[in-house]
Structures are given as structure tokens and as C-alpha cells.
Amino acid sequence: MAAPVLAYENLGLVQGSGWLFRGLDLFVGARDRLALIGRNGAGKTTLLKCLADLIETDEGRRTIQPGTKVVLLEQDPPVTDFATLRDFALSGPAAPATSFRNVRRSVRMCALPVEILHMTT
């Protein structure tokens, strides 16, 4: 098995008066597809923000392969000024500066079409 692109070992985050999650191990490989499912308020977005290094965790070790960039798309992005969600994603400050080699597949997310792209580095 190849080394993970992104890993978090023993991840823990306190929110309010207790642990939102603790002792979580997560390993993401280069071609992995992930689904995060849970009830409202369960911490799905918070976990994604931890993975994107937007929130400092209380426990755990984050490891990321050099050159890897984690970008988190807002839940309700202001896309009205853009023809496609791809145009919106590529306009942001964290947009990849590299060219896209090919479009892998299209999926539906947040009731908007999203293109899953493979980037060249």
C-alpha cells in the first residue's frame, strides 16, 4: 500500500464542554473517494476544516505529502456570478495554478454540478 497523501492520527477536538471527536485515525490515499455522512450538527464540516488545517485540533498529528493542497469549498458558496461551479472554484485565492489534464467524472454535490478534476503538478 502506498503512503497516504493526507493522514491524521489520534485526531481529537474539544467543542463546548466535551470532545466532538477523539482518537480518530484517518488516512487518505491518492485515488481514494470519501463520503462523510452524519446528522446535522454531528461535526462533519468541522472535521473537514480540521483536515484542511483551517481549525487547530486539540490532539493528533497531521501528515501531508509535500505539494499536496487541501481546499475546502463552502457549503453555500456565492456562485451566482459564475457560469459553472468549476469557474467559481478556479477563481478563488486557493485555486490551483497548474493546468488541468482531464476531467475524471461529474458528480452532484450541494444540488450543483461539480467536476472532479485531475491536476498536473
**Taking the domains of the chain in order of start, what are their residue ranges?**
6-64, 85-119
3-state secondary structure of 101: strand
| C-alpha grid cell, residue 25 | 485515525
Mean pLDDT of 82-102: 68
Residue 61: which of 46, 51, 47 has the closest Cα? 51
What one-character DSSP code corresponds to residue 51?
A: H
The answer, yes or no, to whether residue 112 has pLDDT greater than 60, is: no
Q: What is the pLDDT of residue 117?
A: 40
Mean pLDDT of 77-102: 71
